A and B are shown apart, each in its own frame.
Chain A
Amino acid sequence: MIVAQNISKSFFGVYALKNFSLELKDGQVCCLLGENGSGKSTFVKVLSGIFPDYKGEIYINGKLVRLSSPKVARDYGIAAVHQTLDLVPQASIMENIFLGSERKKHKIFIDRQEVKRITKELLSYFNLELDPEKPVAELTTWQKVIVAMAKAISKGCHTLLIDEATTPLSIVEKRLLLSLIRELKEKNYSILFVTHYPEEVFEIGDEVVVLRDGEKVMHAKVSETDLQMIVKAIAGKKADRKYYRQKVEVGKELLILKNVSINHIIKDINLEIREGEIVYIVGLPDSGKEQLARAIFGLIPIRSGEMYLNGYKYNPKNTNDAVKHGVGFVPGDREAEGIFPIRPILENSYISRINSLTTRNLYINLNKNITEFASMARIIKLVYKSPSEEVRFLSGGNKQKVVLMRSLLTKCKLIVCEQPTAGIDVGSKVEIYSIFNEFTENGGAVLAVTGEAGDATSIADRILIMKEGKIFKEFVGPTDPEQVIRNLIGLG
């Protein structure tokens, strides 16, 4: 039995998990739900030893332990099933399963025969007929999930943390996985099941816990709850909901997508965004929303169909082309793809049109556009000490503003934005919404993609629900987040 008490973990000053307590009992499945960024994955990572700097106590069978590394967590019998995170693509199935716990013969050599035999057994236990020597890179998503499960079990772990494993799976595969988990539960495994889909809770769960903004907002026995209560908890209290959108005159069509296909899943997308509109595409991971956003910015090519911008045919060759056409982009992973951490704020905000900073088109002069920068910073309420301050010292919300500023300063017409408010504090969220309001008032348009229903319902004119590469539902005007979540998880 695992008892986690008052677990907190913060990133750049923003709590991802705050005073969170949870018990995992043997032979039980505890379901953990919540929107993107609610702290589910953070908790899984704390329990698997990936974030050793967490605050709080963890007791295993009554003994206080410190999960300081993945090895320590594994030695305590905790294993996480990440989809593909911990698999080595070039190595074979059997090598991956025994990674870190190799079987040896004569105390030196890897016992290939033994390893192969056990792998075969494990795979057939999971109804998978595969050559154990096949490299993991050649497996399907479902097969990778099974290999990850087999890996966890082969290490003799009794606590399995299954992190959003069902999201990329087909319906049949989901059924298989859920019945597998039931079997494991009967074998007295203790399971933390992290999912987006509340209906799965009623198939396998004993207890259900809901996280929202890093805090526990619901903890109940599955037998004493219903779907309605869970959806309500995920969406948050009614009193906390506010619609920040100001009335803006809508102009002519800005971006039109006609039968756009990107791959065999994302196809025949039709979309229309007008000047002055804020449109949100909401979808779960693997719904294809990011690829769609990236295709519009020229990051990935479209396979067929047509795009029009301002009435002209638009087919960006690359990102530079997209910027020249007046399209801006805010990537979802701010730290990895958004900012240049050790470069000054000013330089960061001018990267998309760095030529405007040059003297005689040659030398970069960071003082050249300082007035323009300062007035823009004032408009977006950027909190900073000096334009030459390194971006990494800013808070998450201010970093996001700098990334947004990069697009605003190119005088673009359309901002394509991934997870506009992920990992930032509530105050900054509201300020980002006012930036959107102001930007659209001046004739611009925002296309945002997100997994957070509450984000979309706070600001969007229109909300499009995307699932398995298709847009299948549209909401106009102020919308109840519960309704959006119901549609996302297929209860609509």
Chain B
Amino acid sequence: MLHQLGKIFSDFSLFFFLVIIVVAGQLSNPLFLSPATIYTIIRGTACLGFLALGEVLVIISRGIDLSVGQIACLSSVIVVYFMIMFQSPLIAIVLTLLMGLGFGVLSGTLVNIGIPPFLATLGTMWIAQGLAEYLGVKPTPVPSHFSSFNIISFETPPVTAIILILISVISLEILATKVPIGRYIYYVGGNEYGTYISGVDVKLIKYIIYSFSGFSASIGGILLTSWTTSGYKWVALGQEFTAIAASVIGGASLAGGEGRVFKTIIAMVLLITISSLYTFLGLPPTLFFLTEGFLILGAALFQIKFRRG
């Protein structure tokens, strides 16, 4: 009985929390749920969501990717850098995405050599950070003649942001639940050796997971640039932990084999809503960290309590 209640609760707990936060926000200040706030939450979710999308897949496979935040930072710096160099946003975006993919391939290679994911991605994280700090000493605004690049920032309502994140979440959710390659991520996390002796190319799966994570993080970086209208080396500083937090609050287990893409995004919405609420109410940022800490510990305790089997 308790078990079933727990399961139902765990499936809907995030919506439940989200509703509580929104209602509480609305009660404390009726101006909270304005279009402006909602658009901010959407934009934030779209940008940071792409960091979490890669992260959650890595975590399901029983790994961790610490590099997503710094890959996003580096992407922000070089997308503007290339835009100025080649005078073409398209070329800049393509090159930036390739860079993100390259970092992901590097992480995947290191992990497949046998370096623990924590260390491998700590290494790639610092390499990305080093390059970002070197190339982007000062924030560089997106050139005014390419102002259409800043679509995330100026578009109201933010249709592009919504479309991008929705399509990505839906297609990844389908991939992870209905397509063999997506299911393999769960199997690798649940029993890597068993998956291997079932005849699956486990290394290939890991390559794909980490490459995607790097690629997805660079999309996040580009979107953040479009939102903040400048290339900035600290635009996603520390956001790898937000991505990890969203994955875990969304039900992913660091022990592998569990987690859902769509729940991760809902958890991201939750985190960003709380953050906007605190900003809106003029509460100090420290309070947000406290809340985040309790949320992630609560989610972890919850997993231990109601883990099935």
Is B309 an interface residue, CB under 8 A from the partner? Answer: yes
How many chain A residues touch B (CB < 8 A): the figure is 33
Q: How far is the CB of B174 from chain A (nearest CB, A)?
A: 8
Q: Which residues 70-101 in A have Cβ within 8 Å of B in the complex? A: 70-71, 73-75, 80, 82, 85-91, 95, 99-101
The answer to whether B191 and A89 touch across the interface, beta carbons within 8 angstroms, is yes
Which residues of the other chain, A, contact B187 by a CB distance below 8 angstroms? Answer: 88, 91, 95, 99
The answer to whether residues A102 and B257 also contact, given A90-B309, A137-B308, A138-B309 and a CB cut-off of 8 A, is no
Which residues of the other chain, B, contact A87 by a CB distance below 8 angstroms? Answer: 191, 194
Which residues of the other chain, B, contact A151 by a CB distance below 8 angstroms? Answer: 198
The answer to whether residues A100 and B308 also contact, given A88-B190, A88-B194, A89-B191 and a CB cut-off of 8 A, is no
Query: Considering only CB atoms, which chain B residue lies closest to A139 in the complex?
Result: B309
Is A341 an interface residue, CB under 8 A from the partner? Answer: no
The answer to whether A110 and B309 touch across the interface, beta carbons within 8 angstroms, is no
Binds A, one of B117-125, B176-184, B280-288: B176-184
The answer to whether A102 and B180 touch across the interface, beta carbons within 8 angstroms, is yes
The answer to whether residues A99 and B308 also contact, given A110-B180, A110-B183 and a CB cut-off of 8 A, is no
A186 to B186, CA, bound (A): 37
Query: Considering only CB atoms, which chain B residue lies closest to A108 in the complex?
Result: B179
Which residues of the other chain, B, contact A366 by a CB distance below 8 angstroms? Answer: none
Query: Considering only CB atoms, which chain A residue lies closest to B192 in the complex?
Result: A88
Contact residue among B174, B197, B199, B258 (Cβ-Cβ distance under 8 Å from A90): B258
A382 to B268, CA, bound (A): 59
Q: How far is the CB of A114 from chain B (nearest CB, A)?
A: 13
The answer to whether residues A90 and B194 also contact, given A70-B199, A99-B200, A137-B309 and a CB cut-off of 8 A, is no
Contact residue among B180, B186, B197 (Cβ-Cβ distance under 8 Å from A86): B197
The answer to whether B197 and A70 touch across the interface, beta carbons within 8 angstroms, is yes
Is B196 an interface residue, CB under 8 A from the partner? Answer: yes
A280 to B200, CA, bound (A): 42
Which residues of the other chain, B, contact A56 by a CB distance below 8 angstroms? Answer: none
Q: How far is the CB of A99 from chain B (nearest CB, A)?
A: 5
| Chain A 98-132 interface mask (CB, 8 Å, partner B; 1/0) | 01111010001110100000000000000000000
Query: Considering only CB atoms, which chain B residue lies closest to A75 in the complex?
Result: B199
| Chain A 128-152 interface mask (CB, 8 Å, partner B; 1/0) | 0000000101100000000000010
Query: Considering only CB atoms, which chain B residue lies closest to A98 in the complex?
Result: B180
Query: Considering only CB atoms, which chain B residue lies closest to A84 in the complex?
Result: B194
A140 to B195, CA, bound (A): 21
Which residues of the other chain, A, contact B11 by a CB distance below 8 angstroms? Answer: none
The answer to whether residues A95 and B196 also contact, given A86-B191, A135-B309, A137-B309 and a CB cut-off of 8 A, is no
Is A50 an interface residue, CB under 8 A from the partner? Answer: yes
Is B155 an interface residue, CB under 8 A from the partner? Answer: no
The answer to whether residues A110 and B198 also contact, given A91-B187, A138-B308, A138-B309 and a CB cut-off of 8 A, is no
| Chain A 285-299 interface mask (CB, 8 Å, partner B; 1/0) | 000000000000000
The answer to whether A48 and B197 touch across the interface, beta carbons within 8 angstroms, is yes
Which residues of the other chain, A, contact B197 by a CB distance below 8 angstroms? Answer: 48-50, 70, 80, 82, 85-86
A70 to B308, CA, bound (A): 29
A100 to B198, CA, bound (A): 6
The answer to whether B309 and A89 touch across the interface, beta carbons within 8 angstroms, is yes
Which residues of the other chain, B, contact A109 by a CB distance below 8 angstroms? Answer: 174, 178-179
The answer to whether A88 and B199 touch across the interface, beta carbons within 8 angstroms, is no
The answer to whether B195 and A88 touch across the interface, beta carbons within 8 angstroms, is yes
The answer to whether A71 and B309 touch across the interface, beta carbons within 8 angstroms, is no
Q: Which interface residue of A82, A90, A110 has the most chain B CB atoms within 10 A?
A: A90
Question: What's the count of A-B pairs with C-beta under 8 Å?
Answer: 82
The SS class assigned to the A binding surface is loop
Which residues of the other chain, B, contact A75 by a CB distance below 8 angstroms? Answer: 199
The SS class assigned to the B binding surface is helix
Q: How far is the CB of B225 from chain A (nearest CB, A)?
A: 33
The answer to whether A104 and B190 touch across the interface, beta carbons within 8 angstroms, is no
Q: How far is the CB of A152 from chain B (nearest CB, A)?
A: 10
Query: Considering only CB atoms, which chain A residue lies closest to B255 in the complex?
Result: A90
Is B193 an interface residue, CB under 8 A from the partner? Answer: yes
Q: Which residues 191-230 in B have Cβ within 8 Å of A in the complex? A: 191, 193-201
Which residues of the other chain, A, contact B309 by a CB distance below 8 angstroms? Answer: 89-90, 135, 137-138
Which residues of the other chain, B, contact A135 by a CB distance below 8 angstroms? Answer: 308-309
Q: How far is the CB of A308 from chain B (nearest CB, A)?
A: 36
Which residues of the other chain, B, contact A86 by a CB distance below 8 angstroms? Answer: 191, 193-195, 197-198
Which residues of the other chain, A, contact B308 by a CB distance below 8 angstroms? Answer: 90, 135, 137-138
Query: Considering only CB atoms, which chain B residue lies closest to A112 in the complex?
Result: B178
Q: How far is the CB of B84 from chain A (nearest CB, A)?
A: 40
Which residues of the other chain, A, contact B195 by a CB distance below 8 angstroms? Answer: 86, 88, 99-100
A396 to B211, CA, bound (A): 41
A71 to B202, CA, bound (A): 11
A82 to B193, CA, bound (A): 12
Q: How far is the CB of A335 from chain B (nearest CB, A)?
A: 16
A435 to B198, CA, bound (A): 43
Which residues of the other chain, B, contact A49 by a CB distance below 8 angstroms? Answer: 197
Q: How far is the CB of B306 from chain A (nearest CB, A)?
A: 14
Which residues of the other chain, A, contact B190 by a CB distance below 8 angstroms? Answer: 88-91
Query: Considering only CB atoms, which chain A residue lies closest to B191 in the complex?
Result: A88
The answer to whether B179 and A85 touch across the interface, beta carbons within 8 angstroms, is no
The answer to whether B258 and A85 touch across the interface, beta carbons within 8 angstroms, is no
A49 to B200, CA, bound (A): 13
Q: How far is the CB of A41 from chain B (nearest CB, A)?
A: 13
Contact residue among A85, A102, A104 (Cβ-Cβ distance under 8 Å from B194): A85
The answer to whether B186 and A70 touch across the interface, beta carbons within 8 angstroms, is no
Query: Considering only CB atoms, which chain A residue lies closest to B253 in the complex?
Result: A90
Query: Considering only CB atoms, which chain A residue lies closest to B200 in the complex?
Result: A100
Which residues of the other chain, A, contact B178 by a CB distance below 8 angstroms? Answer: 109-110, 112
A349 to B180, CA, bound (A): 48
Which residues of the other chain, A, contact B199 by a CB distance below 8 angstroms? Answer: 69-71, 73-75, 100-101, 155
The answer to whether A91 and B186 touch across the interface, beta carbons within 8 angstroms, is yes
Q: How far is the CB of B179 from chain A (nearest CB, A)?
A: 6
Q: How far is the CB of A84 from chain B (nearest CB, A)?
A: 8
The answer to whether A70 and B198 touch across the interface, beta carbons within 8 angstroms, is yes
The answer to whether A95 and B183 touch across the interface, beta carbons within 8 angstroms, is yes
A219 to B194, CA, bound (A): 32
Q: How far is the CB of B304 from chain A (nearest CB, A)?
A: 15
- Beyond the given A50-B197, A95-B183, please list 10 additional residue pairs across the A-B interface where CB-CB is below 8 A: A49-B197, A70-B196, A70-B199, A85-B193, A89-B309, A90-B308, A90-B309, A99-B200, A110-B178, A112-B178
Show 12 residue pairs from A and B whose CB-CB distance is below 8 angstroms, ordered by the A residue.
A70-B197, A73-B199, A86-B194, A88-B190, A88-B191, A89-B190, A89-B309, A90-B258, A91-B187, A99-B194, A100-B195, A137-B308
Q: Which residues of A contact B (CB under 8 A)?
A: 48-50, 69-71, 73-75, 80, 82, 85-91, 95, 99-102, 104, 108-110, 112, 135, 137-138, 151, 155
